[in-house]
Amino acid sequence: MQLTNRSKQVSNKEMTLMERAYLPAIATGLAITLKHFFAKKVTIQYPEVKRYLGPVFRGRHILKRDEDGRERCTACGLCAVACPAEAIQIVAAEREKGEEKLYREEKYAAVYEVNMLRCIFCGLCEEACPKQAVYLRHDEFIPVFADRDQVIWGKDLLVEDMNNRYTRETWTKEEAYELNAKRANGEVTNVVPRAIP
């Protein structure tokens, strides 16, 4: 009487010479090895090679400059207020005469610090900024730090280098939605990344 259909009928036939020498099993194993040898690798040589993290990744903070190299931040403090981790500290100052080429508005951030141990990379500072001055880079991680002195990032680390500007395909949600719609319709295939307008 058969209770289930999972039972397998065992054959008691005599093994051939090839089967006794395990040659078919060895050949099958070598074929699998050769297949993986020529297949595309799933791993990369990190950190020399880095994968694209995607447009929604939030990494290293950056304080943007405008096209003339002036700091966009006006020290309004909305990023610090929006930060749920209270990781941002700002000290505002008035722009002096002759500093028009350094700061865009009459008020600027004399001190702008981000505590990287507190930051949770939520991106609320980026969303709260009315001047599009604060961004979290989508292509760069925060470097590993070994000392607590390296945790507080000031303007020397945050302000954008004009020789190595941060570029993106889109800078606002509206631009991103529009670009995605055009890509879905096949109207756009390649977009050149640009610095903030």
Strands, DSSP E only, in 33-192?
Answer: 61-63, 88-94, 107-115, 134-136, 152-153
Q: Is the pTM of this model over 0.85?
A: no
Q: What is the pLDDT of residue 173?
A: 79
Phi-psi region of 86 (alpha: psi -120 to 50; beta: other; left: phi over 0): left
List, for the chain, all residue ranges whose pLDDT scores fall below the cut of 50: none
Q: What is the pLDDT of residue 39?
A: 92
Q: CA-CA distance, 116 to 152, in Å (whole number)? A: 6
CB 195 within 8 A of CB 165: yes
Q: Where are the alpha helices (H) located in the chain, listed in sequence order?
A: 17-20, 23-38, 78-82, 124-128, 155-158, 173-185
Q: What is the pLDDT of residue 124?
A: 95
